[in-house]
Amino acid sequence: MTAIDWPRYMLSAVFVLGLMAALLWWLKRRQAPWALQGQGRRIRLIETQPLGLKHKMMLVQVDQQMVLVAVNANDIRTLHSWPCSANGPDGLATPAVDTAPPSFPDFFTGGRS
């Protein structure tokens, strides 16, 4: 190769490697929305709330059961679980017990008439 070909070769190699890195980054970011979503899956991750660098809370639906879990680097703990029904907006699960909020007078009397 001549001296003029080396810069062209290096620029082409950097371009190809950069293109591959960008493609891998894009595939990693786009994996969750289109990877087997809703195709007979029994476990769904509904929501995640980070609490710190290594701690987070996750709301998980397993069949017709909602589970709130705390996750850290060492373990996973169940905080609460309750039954749910899948008739919420956008197909999301809602709690099965539909309790209406107390009326304004009941709020002050504690439910006593």
For residue range 53-95, what is the model confidence (pLDDT) as tens digits?
Answer: 999 999 999 888 999 999 999 999 999 998 986 555 455 555 5
Based on the domain organization, do 27 and 51 belong to the same domain?
no
Q: What's the pLDDT band for 97 if we cut at 50, 70, 90? A: low
Report whether 76 contacts 67 (CB < 8 A): no
pLDDT in tens, 29-60: 776 555 555 567 788 889 999 999 999 999 99
Residues 47 and 73 in one domain: yes
List the strands of the sheet with 43-50, edge to edge: 43-50, 56-62, 65-71, 76-85, 94-95
1 and 14 inside one domain: yes
Which residue range forms the structural domain that includes residue 20? 1-35
User: Do residue 18 and residue 45 come from a single domain?
Assistant: no
Specify the number of domains making up the chain.
2
As a whole-number percent, the residues of the chain with pLDDT over 70 amount to: 64
> Does residue 91 share a domain with residue 104?
yes
